[in-house]
Amino acid sequence: MPERKIYYIALGVLLLGITWYFFFYSAQEIKIVNYPSSGTDVIAFGDSLVTGVGATSGNDFVSLLSNKIGQEIINLGISGDTTASGLARVSELNRYRPKVVLLLLGGNDHLRKVPIETTFENLEKIIENMQSRGAIVVLLGIKGNLFGDKFEPEFNKLYRKYGTAYIPNVLNGLFGKVEFMEDSIHPNNAGNQVIAERIYPVLVPLLK
């Protein structure tokens, strides 16, 4: 078996184990709000990482997850979205009965130097809106700086305060690696596969 294939398999097993551990450890501490949900729709809401910029058609993490769970995941991603523009369009959920919402925003706030307080105030309002609809929110964290991570403590506060499911830094280990990145900020097919594998074990129990 080629060394590259062995590496990907080992990485996938490691990520799966870490994600399962994190989810069940956290579940013991924090009750997931709205679980189990009576909604019907699984939705991904966010920016270009959700739309799949950098991946070929069908290889974005939302499509990969949809295939794995055997259910459509409605993609409400818009490239360039900040937390402010996400908040402004959260009413798009009016058309659905959200059961689980994957929420991935904040990267464009960092790139545009939006004050961190504003970023997380907007995320709070978005989460409150989604939870008021009976949805389980899966908060997908991202890194807020190349050196250190100013976002991580804020994401931790957020998921604990609102009882969301949470996956920290979904791009962890991908930045700077050509085998995973299409450009400096968007993962390629392989990178999206890693993201899907991180989310899958957290998402599946929430669909029951």
Number of domain units in the chain? 1
DSSP label at residue 141: -
Query: Could you list the residue range(s) of the whole structural domain that residue 27 is in?
Result: 3-206
What are the DSSP E strand ranges found in the chain? 41-46, 73-77, 98-104, 136-140, 165-167
Taking the complete model, does pTM exceed 0.75, yes or no? yes
The predicted-structure confidence for 35-44, as pLDDT tens digits, reads as follows 999 999 999 9
Position 30 scores a pLDDT of 77
Tokens (6 digits) for 92: 């798009």
CATH number at residue 152: 3.40.50.1110
CA distance 138 to 4: 31
From the CB of residue 96, how many other CB atoms can be counted at a distance below 10 Å?
17
The predicted-structure confidence for 128-171, as pLDDT tens digits, reads as follows 999 999 999 999 999 987 667 899 999 999 999 999 999 999 99
The predicted-structure confidence for 90-115, as pLDDT tens digits, reads as follows 999 999 999 999 999 999 999 999 99
The predicted-structure confidence for 17-56, as pLDDT tens digits, reads as follows 555 444 444 444 679 999 999 999 999 999 999 999 999 9
CA distance 64 to 143: 23
- Percent of the chain having pLDDT more than 70? 85
